[in-house]
Amino acid sequence: MQLPVRFAKYELQEFLGGGMSHVYRSLDTVIGRQVAVKLLTDQGCADAEAKERFLNEARMCGTIQHDHIVTVHDYGEEQGRPFIVMEFLRGKDLRDTLKAGQAGDLLNRIRIAGEIAAALEYIHQIGIIHRDIKPENVFIEQSGRSKLMDFGISKAAGLSLTKAGNTMGTPYYMAPEQVQGSTITPLVDVYSFGIVMYELFTGERLVTGDSMERLFYVILHENPDPAKLAAAGLPQPLIDLILRCTAKRPEDRLQSFSAIKQVLLGISSDVRAGAPAAPAPVQPARPPESGNGLKMGPIIGAGLVALALGGVGIWMVVKGREAKTPEPPKTAGKKELPATLTGKGGDMMLVPGGEFLFGSARTPVKVPGFYIDETEVPVKAYQEFAGAAGRALPDGNAPDKPMLPVVNVSFNDARDFCQWAGKRLPGEFEWEKAARGGDGRSFPWGNSSEASNAVVAESNAKEPAVVDSFEHAKSPNKTVHMTGNVWEWVERPHTPSVMAVETFGKVLKPAPTANEPWHYIKGGAFDKPMAQGVGYEWSSVPARMVSPTIGFRCAQDLPE
């Protein structure tokens, strides 16, 4: 095509590139605005499916208005040729930006990732799956602002443009389920975004291979190397986020870009403040050389857990944590330890020392042996403590229901009870090992999310069950109710994100600060979905928080 040339009301002035469609820097001759005109080629027009995809992109993009998505001014068909008119962007796509070494410092790259996440959050909210997230489809303007573009193979809810079993997308960034021709969900964008983040922060493409078969093998079976991310100087929460997004199984990824965006916001705040990635753990953490993905990977990564406390919906950012080589397990010599101990508060079950598979990626971690309460602490036991300590039974606990779990207890209340009983609160890793055993199962009873195994929202529970019920759904360590019923405090200090502090400021008086104590809770509750009771999920709340959905259980060291 000899340029310049007139096309409808647009003057096509400069060819910018393209494949099945060509993009031209153009002039809107009516209003005098510089625009980019995208035309389907003759070859594309002859392909009915390619033409339908192009028209689908035009229709979808015409409804999108977002600061970090390229704006579509016009679309239509002229002389049998479909076209899209977009804002004209000055700058480079992310691929060329990385090649030129112009992505900036760590904070700037986190900002870019956050802007892409915001764009994807928006399109998912309006029912669109992009399906082709890659550096070439992210444009970095001269101002530094990021823009998501190219919705050519995007899919709206209820729309199918490909035959069953076909895959669409750029191979290097395709999710395992795309490779397998499985059902496409928004989580394919989460995976591709994770691959792009890996490249953004390391400068290297994660998936490589000299044949399509090799590429697909890598996508399905090989996992990112966290050592490369660590070598790039990334904070641990960011490493965990990348690894969580690129988990092989969709259910192991973060489930929304709202979650990803807020995690990135928290990481950015930490980096700006010069804060450590996470406080020093109070118990052994995973070895730094642990793997990632389906079988190896981030311990929990970063996630967003919805927690309704006292009828208030609270969204909390959960973040990664530093690794620390575990201490050798404690032993009790050659003396055989009893499987059950009886003491104040009820029976305790032995959890032998050794390795277990931790987090969503089932990372091997060694934990010393310990005992843990078989059940949550019941009202009856807490009432005995309250009487001895001269305290009142917390509101919301009925003395005539002595075997319900005690609730409305703060972290310090739970810790005080444990000390009175000659015990302590369990650490994060101890609690998870007690709940999941050593084989990396998602729930105490296995991997099936059956509502009949727990007191959760799916079972239409209106209140927690008595602590010694659900004997049929015990963990391998013979504990009960470690999914659902009530959240449980664990001994794990945490520095909250700005978002978490602001959110809790709306429901707690006085408003909490990041400098006051915050600790983790785990296990979900009777009013929460089963997914929030997965053994590796967790969240953090101010230590002074009390709620009718939060209780606890105690742990105890092995005898010397």
Tally the C-alpha atoms within 13 A of residue 172's C-alpha that lie toward its C-beta. Answer: 15
Confidence (pLDDT) at 560? 67
How is the chain split into domains, by residue range?
A: 5-87, 91-222, 331-557
Q: Say if CB 488 and CB 521 are below 8 A apart.
A: yes
Average pLDDT taken over every residue of the chain: 81
Give me the active site residues, please: 132
Give me the CATH code for the 91-222 domain, please: 1.10.510.10
Give the residue among 268, 283, 271, 267 at the shortest CA–CA distance from 320.
Answer: 267
Neighbours of 52 (CB within 10 A): 13
pLDDT tens string 470-526: 989 999 999 999 999 999 999 887 777 777 788 888 889 999 998 888 888 999 999
Tokens 């230590």 sit on residue: 543
Which tokens belong to 502?
A: 């602001």
Q: What is the pLDDT of residue 276?
A: 43
Task: Give the span between the Cα atoms of 542 and 528, in whole angstroms.
Answer: 19
Query: What are the residue ranges in the chain where pLDDT is below 50?
Result: 153-169, 276-333
Helix (H, G, I), strand (E, B) or coil at 449: coil
Strands 33-40, 21-28: pairing is antiparallel
Residues paired with residue 92 on neighbouring β-strands, in sequence order: 140
What is the structure's pLDDT at 361?
67
Task: Spell out where 319-474 has E strands.
Answer: 340-343, 346-351, 354-358, 363-367, 370-373
Closest by CA to 94, choosing from 119, 74, 75, 73, is 119
How far, in Å, are 49, 303, 380, 390, 440 from residue 192 at the CA level? 24, 17, 51, 57, 25
**CATH no. of 5-87:** 3.30.200.20
Q: Which amino acid is at 370?
A: F
Task: Kindly give the pairing relationship between strand 538-542 and strand 370-373.
Answer: unpaired
Query: Does the domain at residues 331-557 carry the CATH identifier 3.40.980.10?
Result: no
The residue length of the chain stands at 560
Residue 170: its pLDDT value, please?
60
pLDDT in the model for residue 96: 93
Q: Answer yes or no: are the C-beta atoms of 438 and 432 closer than 8 Å.
A: no
Phi and psi of 492, rounded to 5°? -155, 95
What would the pLDDT profile of 158-188 be if each residue is shown by its tens digit? 333 333 333 344 688 999 988 887 888 999 9
